[in-house]
Structure 1
Amino acid sequence: MKDQKIHIIDTTLRDGEQAAGVVFSLEEKLKIAAMLDEAGVPELEIGTPAISPQERENIKVLVHSGFSFDTLAWCRAMCSDIDEAAATGAKGVHISFPVSSIHLHALGKNELWVMKRMGEVLKYASGLFHNVTVGAQDASRAGFPFLVDFVGQAMCCGASRVRIADTVGIMNPFSVSKLFIRLQKEYPHVPFEFHGHNDLGMATANTFTALCSGASAASVTVNGLGERSGNAVLEEVVMALSLSGHKGCGIHTECLSELSAFVREASGRVLSDMKPITGTFAISHESGIHTQCLLNDRNTYQIINAAAVGRNEEPFVFGKHSGRAAISGFFSSKGYQLSSEESADILQNVKQESLKLKRSLSESELLRLYKPRV
């Protein structure tokens, strides 16, 4: 992949809100937008104007609220949708076309219709918008020859970027890499974007792979919010790029935890405690073997720096798997210097209590186990 800055497009306010049962108020949308702006996300897909007059008003408010990111409105391949997007003042428009035989058949269309309609709609949109991006919906199940023709037609008609959408999350990192290598060979100078869904749990991995295989942009959502099992996760993609891919994308990662927490609250979607980056236990430790090393060097068993993602380091969890070093360290932090015998006694009691309660112990419960030797 040639050296270039990775461009992140957040679609929490469009595809994220399409998650079943999720509705953001305008105030919540403004807060999410403000937090994404603070995090340095350069472009937001902020809604679908054709949904309703209220949606158009919300988009208009977002557009005129003074944020520094570029705004993108999502449209079907219809000139009426383009007009509604233009009326909101959005800086750019994304126009989606079906490209797989499955979607085309379901809509009663064919490949010839796509190519003809693209020429008409993109010409119309280019007269109203400087930034016109084109989406290949269900590209992951499209025939490659038609996908190549689709990309060529999009660029000939003035598209500024082409979105390759894994609409049903059927791809895997191997097929993603193969696809983008082939597309880059056909069109080495086309700005490709990847849009991944998480039906098989691979959206983040697929997005990372796309960005390492030729795509220069990716659309993601906070917490992976989105239809069915969701989309690629903004905070996970960004941290994976940084720590595993050694690639920057200009996002202020220290904003990620607060952003994740607010979207969780606004969407009403509970996050797993084990969710990477922002989950409660993502930087928590109990194992005695681990904690003994962690006391000397946090990097031994933790690659996520808490401060780098806007978190505080979590205290050790005390339970069945704890070790003496963690016990001694905890009591030392409370002003008690334990003998080796006292540490061993408390550790044995911790393990017994944890087994009985089937959970870890709180700090207060741990302190109550301390009985000074006389």
Structure 2
Amino acid sequence: MENEPEMSSKSRPEFGPYYMPDKWCLDRYMHTEEVRSTLDLPARFYVRDTTIREGEETPGLSMTTRDKVRIAEKLYEAGVQQVDIGYVGAQQGHYETAKLIRQEIPELAITGFARVWSADWQRDVDRCQELEVAQVDVLQHPILIWASDEQVMELGPAREALIPRTVEVIEYAKRCGLRVAYGHPDVARTPWEILQEFYSVTARAGIDLLILYEDGYGCPPGVQHLVRKIRDLVDVPLMIHCHDDLGLGTANVLTAVGAGAEAADLVVNGLGDKGGLTKLEEVVVALETHYGLSTGIHLEKLTELSRFVEEVTGFRRQINKPLVGENAYIHEAELHVYCIVKGLWEAMEGVHPHVIGQERTVVFGSTTLHGEAVRARLDVTGQRYNSRDVELILDKLRERLQTQPSLTLEEFDELARTVLA
């Protein structure tokens, strides 16, 4: 047998930000000056996880308070420093969850809502103060641009009273000594004049953070444009919160960060209502590798965290889900098996499985019958063979595949030894 050709030093990728040996080998162009100069990355970035609030809004999913605390513990172990609890003034379950997390994981920061449209907004803020939240999110009327004046008033104050009410809530929360964020819903479809007015007023009222609730209808160019306009308008840090209705959640969050957003709401496994929310595991890996931003998340904990949330919620992940799915690191196709067996993992994977706590599996199946993968495995295991042997092994492999979907490496090795004996 002729030796496999060595990759020349000229063609082998050089080490650098995009290629970290035994870690990742990704888009080389992302780290060029031409591309980096188009970005306005924040000096620091942090994740707020909203699995125990938004995740619970998944239809058919119900979590006990203890379930939520268990998830919060895993999130903290994975490096998450802040979690969104939700409506601590309106929902007793959210309040009890917040109390228990404060008792059992005091190092984990929590946040809660104050509803601008609610007559009980002061109770919302008072509950947040009682719980010593790290931040109260002053949340705007949820259907402002779609409802008639009568419908707006069904939920709360008249449309013209919303700005004074918003300022009142913010100022009260500030007097309570709380860090205050302002969140405006459906930003991708709200006319700029409305956003401009609310953002300008709330910035003057002294908010510490703006949260852009992109409810699943935006696209990356529009998100980039909006983030840049808001940053030109007010000097307030931005957080992005994207739903995944059109499958653009991850892209929209990354685009927002590239335009200067300093934080993002993320959910493990993309749980949530409708199409779910932006997936924590996808965003943090992309930010750490492509963007070179530290997220504070322990990447090696991601697969364990994903599986834990699946176990607690009972909602199975998509089998071919990127990074943490069951099939994400299973190789069967001919060239995949050839490359992995030969140690050329970079040819078929972008992120090494150990980086995110995953494991790689190689199998022989119906797409591994060309011969190259068989020869590669025989070479690696030190077997002596000829062309006829390879054909016999392929025949036996086809025969076995009539009764089972694939063979593990161990099963293949045993089959090959039997043929070559």
- Per the TM superposition, whether the score is higher than 0.5 is yes
Instruction: Measure how far apart 1:367 and its partner are.
Output: 5.4
Report the equivalent of 2:26. Answer: none
Instruction: Measure how far apart 1:84 and its partner are.
Output: 2.6
Q: Distance in 2 between the 1:291 and 1:125 partners?
A: 59
2:272 alignment partner, SS class = coil
The answer to whether structure 1 residue 289 and structure 2 residue 328 are counterparts is no
Q: Distance in 1 between the 2:365 and 2:320 partners?
A: 17
Report the equivalent of 2:394. Answer: 347
Report the equivalent of 1:155. Answer: 203
Alignment of 1:47-62 (within 5 A): 47-62=86-101
The answer to whether structure 1 residue 301 and structure 2 residue 348 are counterparts is yes
Instruction: Measure how far apart 1:358 and its partner are.
Output: 7.9
Alignment of 1:181-330 (within 5 A): 181-187=228-234, 189-294=235-340, 295-312=342-359, 314-322=360-368, 324-327=371-374
Alignment of 1:116-155 (within 5 A): 116-155=164-203
Structure 2 segments unaligned to the other structure (5+ residues): 1-39
1:232 alignment partner, SS class = coil
Instruction: Measure how far apart 1:343 and its partner are.
Output: 3.5
Instruction: Measure how far apart 1:120 and its partner are.
Output: 0.9
The answer to whether structure 1 residue 94 and structure 2 residue 142 are counterparts is no
Q: For each residue in 1:298-339, what CA deviation from the matched residue of structure 2 results, as whole angstroms up to 9, or x when unmatched? A: 111101211110122x12121122154544565678x67252
Identify which range, 86-95 or 101-110, moves more after superposition: 101-110
Q: How many residues align?
A: 369
1:296 alignment partner, SS class = coil
Name the aligned partner's letter for residue 131 of structure 1. Answer: R
2:52 alignment partner, SS class = helix
Identify which range, 37-46 or 79-88, moves more after superposition: 79-88
2:364 alignment partner, SS class = coil
Report the equivalent of 1:175. Answer: 222
Report the equivalent of 1:26. Answer: 65
- Choose the corresponding residue for 2:113, options 74, 77, 88: 74
Identity score, percent: 27
Cα distance change of structure 1 residues 369 and 20 upon mapping to structure 2, 3 Å threshold: same
Instruction: Measure how far apart 1:350 and its partner are.
Output: 2.6
TM-score w.r.t. length of structure 2: 0.81
Name the aligned partner's letter for residue 227 of structure 1. Answer: D
Report the equivalent of 1:107. Answer: 152
- Based on CA coordinates, which of the two structures has the bigger radius of gyration? 2
Q: For each residue in 1:99-141, what CA deviation from the matched residue of structure 2 results, as whole angstroms up to 9, or x when unmatched? A: 7411575433655322111111111111224311111011221
Q: Distance in 1 between the 2:222 and 2:170 partners?
A: 29
Q: Distance in 1 between the 2:304 and 2:133 partners?
A: 27
Given that residues 43 and 71 in structure 1 are in contact (C-alpha distance below 8 angstroms), is that contact kept between their aligned partners in structure 2? yes
Given that residues 65 and 93 in structure 2 are in contact (C-alpha distance below 8 angstroms), is that contact kept between their aligned partners in structure 1? no
2:104 alignment partner, SS class = coil
Identify which range, 293-302 or 98-107, moves more after superposition: 98-107
Instruction: Measure how far apart 1:363 and its partner are.
Output: 5.2
Report the equivalent of 1:44. Answer: 83
Name the aligned partner's letter for residue 140 of structure 2. Answer: F
Report the equivalent of 2:4. Answer: none
Given that residues 49 and 55 in structure 1 are in contact (C-alpha distance below 8 angstroms), is that contact kept between their aligned partners in structure 2? yes
Instruction: Measure how far apart 1:253 and its partner are.
Output: 0.6
Report the equivalent of 2:9. Answer: none
Name the aligned partner's letter for residue 272 of structure 2. Answer: G
Cα distance change of structure 1 residues 348 and 98 upon mapping to structure 2, 3 Å threshold: farther
Q: Distance in 2 between the 1:75 and 1:87 partners?
A: 13
Structure 1 segments unaligned to the other structure (5+ residues): none
2:43 alignment partner, SS class = coil
Report the equivalent of 2:24. Answer: none
Instruction: Measure how far apart 1:88 and its partner are.
Output: 2.9
